[in-house]
A and B are shown apart, each in its own frame.
Chain A
Amino acid sequence: MNIRYILGAPDGAPIAQVLSTLRSQSAWRPFDERAVAFVRRFSQKLLTSAGIRQHPELAALGHWFRGANLQTLAGKYQFETPEQLKLGRGMAFHLAPSNVDSVFMYSWLLSLLAGNVNLVRVSQKASAPLEFLVGALAQTLAEDVGIPVRDRIVLLTYPHDEQLTRLISESCLIRVVWGGDATVRALRAIPLRPTATEICFPDRFSACAIRASAVLEADDAALAQLAAAFYNDAFWFAQQACSSPRLVAWVGEEAAIDAAADRFWTAVDAEVARRQPENSEAMNMARVAASFEYAAAKLARPAVPGELRGAHPMRLRLEAALDETAKTLHCGNGLFLETRLPRLAALAPQLSDKEQTLAVHGFPREELVELALALPARAVDRFAKFGEALSFAPVWDGQDLITTFSRNILLPNG
């Protein structure tokens, strides 16, 4: 078998033996001091590594797992009550997307904190962020703080091999899949042991909604702040994170939207000019090709008349309700679909279980709840403020990860 161990097992180790070692480790309680100490140290290591500036998303990861935040997070759960005890599930099998995304690191570190032992399969493709992460992990594991967790982490990679995936899937008690819809489907066909559970993070689509009047009422400073927040949501990761907004839904009267959109996009253009996001030739070609595909299907046309090609951001106005095709054609890379609605709740019928994050600006809580109650099943897992669409939360895709990664053991009462 073509397994390459990155961490936690020597080259050529038989997988059966690796699995057996992992499975022989007992599950810990969530936020066991040994796991917390390791993650805290890893976070320090990451933040103080030379070269972290080249990987802002990894700096954010390190910052998120800092000691103080771990303490706050642990304080949200009750690990032992008279009635029950929380414990990790056992061996977790994590499948990362083909390009390492920091969000996937969050999930397996949370699994470690939840008390699990972890086998992590990363992509075959080498990448600078992955090497950086592996370096920091290896250094942390080599220290004293790494000793107790050494037998609880294996990082490996292997080419497409259903037999191997099947073997590992039969051993684990929870499988965590990050990947495109096709990957999730292919993995779902590979059985788990009957007592195991699974959590999947498939392709998602995210949007934002803006009340036109809120943009018109904002002073210049507030507007610039809003544009900066939108920039952080939409331009990082080339708009390809599952929570990057791809649709901008305007809410208000036509005339107000005209004026607000004009003001908003002018501010965004200024922010883009100031911060110079990555905009490669290939990214432009991808946007252009997508704009042709939308036009061919009569789904969208340029939001402003005139020369569209080369625009970054590129804006298209939806001509019909947002449907599955419109979501699938979107390629990220700085392309925005726009639509107009009289009220926020009118967005509900255009959403589906594909939607993850809706970043919102200018709506009172009641309107968000009104929309939430009108949503189709499973649509929208979170409403976020502008600027926080990409922020990681321990509740992801609608699930509390610490809770999902652990189990409750009932105790006899009294």
Chain B
Amino acid sequence: MTSSDTLPSGPAQGPTLPLDISRPYDYPESVKGPALLSTMNELTRWHRERGAPYAAMVERLFAEGDAVTLDQVPYLPVRLFKTAELRSVPEQDVIKTLTSSGTTGQAVSRIHLDRETSIRQTRVLSAIMASFLGKRRWPMVIVDSGSLLNDRRRFNARAAGILGFSIYGRDHFHCLDDALSLDVPGLQAWLDRHADTPVLLFGFTFVIWQGLYQSALRQGVRLRFPKGSLLIHGGGWKRLLDQQVDNDEFKARLHEQFGIDHVHNYYGMVEQVGSIFMECEHGRLHSPAYADIIIRDPLTLQPVADGNPGVIQVLSAIPLSYPGHSLLTEDVGTRHGRDDCPCGRHGTYFSVRGRLPQVEMRGCSDTRVMA
């Protein structure tokens, strides 16, 4: 199954970026910039016409008229998807709802996808993956348990991520059991069958660390993956940073323990599935043509110059069924430059440092229910 098999025929449904979707890193700013700006303006109009809460926010909080620069595009704080029902399609057109727990507590984001948005996510992700994997499908190890994908309509972020990435591999093997412990004999047997060809590994950062690395270490096993094997991981560093494990350490340990040559982190979120920001061979997160980032001062929300840290605003030309084309995250990062990375990919590139701390609850109110 490839995504293009399921593409609808007929006119495009909703604003589309007028660039070749299969070339995510080929367009310099002079081409991408104006195209993305125009699509962003169309998407803002699209969502205003289709969602009253979104229209009410843009009307009250942003200047009238089209954005003239990308940083003028109206944005929503990403946490709004936890408290408000934000949808730009009728309820019956929603084919799945993604949820994420985030880190703030009980509230979960609810992202409603229609068929078209879902297809666009797959197409954009496929083009990004092709830049790292080529066109062929790799034998694939999913670093998670196979029982994660039960409720098909209401995915959590992890299940959705795994399902989304699975299509870039073949002969899949889920290498963790239900307790997220490494299935050593199963993985060894699978590796014996794929000894001569590089394999793809995919998983969530902390699951890989705990379920694959620490589990192997604890069980005293040293597995070798074939030369050229490549691991893709995302989901955030919070739990690893708590253990003082950074990206360099992560890569070094995985190489040492398993001989995995290439480790690529990605930055993405359930609120903008598809247009992810992949880490290149030089350790930089890259914006694909379908997406971009803006860094803002967390105290003034004004854009800051490259090289300065701030909160990350993410732009994506994908979302049609929910107003998520421009979102202010609570992640902190730094944009370092654009179009000149030695890896050869065009677009802005950046690094992510962590999350803004949450506000402290004070006063008489309780922060959680206690009985």
Q: Is the CB of A285 within 8 A of B360?
A: no
The yes or no answer to A53 lying at the interface (CB within 8 A) is no
Enumerate chain B residues within 8 angstroms of A297, measured Cβ to Cβ.
Answer: 53, 56
The yes or no answer to A115 lying at the interface (CB within 8 A) is no
The yes or no answer to B363 lying at the interface (CB within 8 A) is yes
The yes or no answer to B31 lying at the interface (CB within 8 A) is no
Whole-angstrom distance between the alpha carbons of A244 and B358 in the complex?
Answer: 21
Enumerate chain A residues within 8 angstroms of B189, measured Cβ to Cβ.
Answer: none
**Hey, what's the 0/1 contact readout for A256-300 against B, CB within 8 Å counting as 1?**
000000000000000000000001111111101101110111100
**Hey, what's the 0/1 contact readout for A214-249 against B, CB within 8 Å counting as 1?**
000000000000000000000001101110100000
Binds B, one of A16-24, A98-106, A142-150: A98-106
Enumerate chain A residues within 8 angstroms of B301, measured Cβ to Cβ.
Answer: 284, 288, 309-310
Q: Is the CB of B80 within 8 A of A293?
A: yes
Q: Is the CB of B80 within 8 A of A99?
A: no
- Which residues of B, 285-338, contact A by the 8 Å Cβ criterion? 297-302, 311, 328, 330
Q: Which residue of A lies closest to B297 (CB)?
A: A310
Whole-angstrom distance between the alpha carbons of A201 and B365 in the complex?
Answer: 9
Contact A310:B300 (CB < 8 A) given known A98-B370, A162-B371, A165-B371: yes
Q: Is the CB of B60 within 8 A of A333?
A: no
Whole-angstrom distance between the alpha carbons of A164 and B50 in the complex?
Answer: 52
Interface size, B (range): 35 or more
B77, B84, B369: the one contacting A285 at CB < 8 Å is B77
Enumerate chain B residues within 8 angstroms of A284, measured Cβ to Cβ.
Answer: 298-299, 301
Contact A295:B366 (CB < 8 A) given known A284-B299, A288-B301, A310-B302: no
Min CB–CB distance A203 → chain B (angstroms)? 5
Enumerate chain A residues within 8 angstroms of B363, measured Cβ to Cβ.
Answer: 97, 99, 101, 237-238, 240-242, 244, 332
Q: Is the CB of A280 within 8 A of B366?
A: no
Q: Which residue of B lies closest to A319 (CB)?
A: B60
Enumerate chain B residues within 8 angstroms of A292, measured Cβ to Cβ.
Answer: 57, 61, 76-77, 80
The yes or no answer to A362 lying at the interface (CB within 8 A) is no
Contact A302:B61 (CB < 8 A) given known A240-B363, A309-B300: yes
Enumerate chain A residues within 8 angstroms of B359, measured Cβ to Cβ.
Answer: 238, 280, 282-283, 285-286, 331, 333
Q: Is the CB of B298 within 8 A of A99?
A: no
Whole-angstrom distance between the alpha carbons of A337 and B83 in the complex?
Answer: 20
Contact A289:B362 (CB < 8 A) given known A182-B369, A190-B371, A296-B56: no
Q: Which residue of A lies closest to B61 (CB)?
A: A295
The yes or no answer to B342 lying at the interface (CB within 8 A) is no
Enumerate chain A residues within 8 angstroms of B297, measured Cβ to Cβ.
Answer: 310
Known: A97-B365, A237-B362, A240-B365. 11 other contacts (CB 8 A): A98-B370, A101-B363, A103-B364, A104-B364, A203-B364, A203-B365, A238-B362, A241-B363, A289-B79, A289-B80, A295-B60
10 smallest CB-CB distances across A and B, nearest first, come from A240-B363, A281-B298, A310-B300, A180-B366, A296-B53, A179-B366, A186-B371, A295-B60, A309-B301, A301-B60
Interface set of A (CB-CB < 8 Å, partner B): 95, 97-99, 101, 103-104, 160, 162, 165, 178-180, 182-183, 186-187, 189-190, 201, 203-204, 237-238, 240-242, 244, 279-286, 288-289, 291-293, 295-298, 301-302, 308-310, 331-333
Interface set of B (CB-CB < 8 Å, partner A): 53-54, 56-57, 59-61, 76-77, 79-80, 83-84, 297-302, 311, 328, 330, 356-371
**18 pairs of residues in contact across A and B, judged by CB atoms under 8 Å:** A95-B370, A97-B363, A101-B363, A179-B364, A179-B365, A180-B366, A182-B366, A238-B362, A241-B364, A242-B365, A281-B356, A292-B76, A295-B56, A295-B61, A296-B80, A297-B56, A310-B297, A333-B359
